[in-house]
Amino acid sequence: MTKEVMQTNRAEDSDEDVEEEDEEQIEGWDDWQSEEEETTADCLCLFCSSIFGSAEVLFEHCRSEHSFDFRGIVRELGLDFYGSFKLINYVRYQVAEKKCWCCSLTFQFSGDLENHLHPASSFKKDGKYFWEDDIYLKPFMMDDPLLHSFGGDEDEEDDSGTADKEELMRELMNSEELPKFSNGNQNILNGDASTSDVYKETENIVAKKVQNLNSNFEGRTTNGIMLEACDQKKKDKQLRESFANVAAKEIKNVNEKYFGSYGSFGIHREMISDKARTDAYRGALLNNPCLINKATVLDVGCGTGILSLFAAQGGASKVISVEASEKMATVATQISRDNGLLSEGNMKDDEKHSGVISVVQCMIEELDKYIYIPQNSVDVLVSEWMGYCLLYESMLSSVIYARDRWLKPDGAILPDTATIFGAGFGRGGTSIPFWENVYGFDMSCIGKEVTEDASHVPIIDVIDSQEIITESTAIHSFDLATMTVDDMDFTASFELKLKKDPSADDVAATTSSCYGVVVWFDTSFTSRFCKEKPINLTTSPYSPRTHWSQTILTFQEPIAMTSSHTMISSTGAVGTEECPAVTIRSRISIVRSSAHRSIDISLEILGISSDGRKRSWPVQIFSL
């Protein structure tokens, strides 16, 4: 949740306004201090799963147990705030990959890494500190309390430094502008800007934050010393340049990889061969003549142009096919030409026949640069934008952009609804059974490690419907005709209860262990637009598999569940065999990650026993 940021640039119309402003700033500062004190209560160790109430206790633990003396390294190398900040993130990145932070030796198991840790013999490689790359200015853990509190007593000795370090980090990590830049700025993130434009945009955002901070602290005295904003100019410039470089490089690399991957014919064969997917779009475009006949259709992200071909076949008078991949735009043009469906504008001089399809190679956000389409003039907008877990790497924000700019007020968007579903799965939905017997050998130690990793990273796989042990539930729905880009981020609550076994005695209790939540989605071409033949496309484990598979979120530990109110232990913990839960109450949040085209998923779990007792488990964060 974004914290409220103090407003320091209000107009000073009178002495009374100035006094009120100062009071508000002081109050805001005090509020933030109390918030910061709360955030430092749960500092996660850099190397193991231990939790500490303060940074100092954590660092002492790391020194004594993991041979990592953070304070000693900072003193020995004379690291400034940014160097210390990057060191913490560097270590977290290395440990996540099971690598020794100082010798880069990689291990298969986390426990082996912890046993290996040793004091560093050197801090440099090729003349540079291991953590010197500006990529380590990006926090490995969002809202990492350690990044807010590692300054320790040194901050208290120099309040000027505190003002610069802590307030600037609070502004940068919790402001609404940077997440908006990372997730919602279509011109930048979707390629409608050069690298220099990205750099300037980031620099402007950070510069505003720095300017606000300087105006807030300039002219104040601490221990008799006047705080001068000019003393921070060099550091401020370094920070702006670092953030701008990181953002520009990351966005450019992600976009290049994303669109480059769609230049491979293999992925297009996989999508076209997905019968459930392709038949759903084909049915909607061919079996609803009242919608498609003589319509102007906009195909966002056309790929090979298969949906555009269906639209032309269905009677559309004009089809505008937009594709960002240069290679696939060329291929789509050739396919349309080979099938006699390419429009006159794309035809060569010696070609006699023309069709209705125009292929444009660009991002949808820059379409106006290539062709003119009157605003709100498109009858039908079609796109296959869905990704894993519906929202991963999806083009939904681009589809919404196109809808708002070119679709008629009464125009149709296909598909027009999407719903995310979930259910609990049993032991067979994990890899544990496989590793227990590999050609007669017990390799269960691998299964335990894989399951542990799966509690942090979602698994994209097909789960057997026989492994679903709870009733399915709708988690969240989207109306593509009305939703905004911000609606892509959501939090929803749902409950899981064991499925009823029709063959079991109503009196007998069924007990099973729930190992996690499997997530899938449906997208629908509803009767709102497809009046003649509505169609539903599902990725459910109860239906034929699709190339989206399902998204598997594994619990940190299995939770025992029962189907009825039976005798339970009054001392056993809820969710164990002695006291199984009758209900698992869950809350899930899916938000766009600061990493472009990625999503973060948080899952909160509460078990409720038949006698009303409750037990909660630590929040799990999955990065996809």
- Burial zone of 11 (CB within 10 Å; 0-12 exposed, 13-18 middle, 19+ buried): exposed
Angle between helices 306-313 and 275-286 (to 10 degrees): 30
Contacts for 76 with CB less than 8 Å, ≥ 6 apart: none
Instruction: Decide if 469 contacts 512 (C-beta within 8 A).
Output: yes
Distance CA 612, CA 610 (A): 5
Distance CA 599, CA 592 (A): 4
String of DSSP letters for 391-420: TTT--HHHHHHHHHHHEEEEEEEES-EEEE
Q: Dihedral sign, CA of 570, 573, 574, 575?
A: negative
Alpha helix (H) residue ranges in 274-325: 275-286, 289-292, 306-313
* Catalytic hit among 24, 218, 393, 604: 393
Strand order in the sheet with 407-414: 357-361, 318-323, 296-300, 378-382, 407-414
Residue 347: strand, helix, or coil: coil
Distance CA 52, CA 323 (A): 50
Phi, psi of 613 (to 5 degrees): -70, 150
Q: How many CB atoms lie within 10 A of CB 326?
A: 13
Q: Dihedral sign, CA of 434, 421, 268, 400?
A: negative
Angle between helices 81-96 and 159-174 (to 10 degrees): 40
Instruction: Decide if 46 contacts 88 (C-beta within 8 A).
Output: yes
* Catalytic hit among 171, 201, 323, 384: 384
The Cα-based distances of 470 to 118, 458, 496, 607 in angstroms read: 47, 19, 6, 14
Annotated catalytic, 393?
yes
Closest to 306 (Cα-Cα) out of 324, 325, 287, 323: 323
Catalytic residue numbers read 384, 393
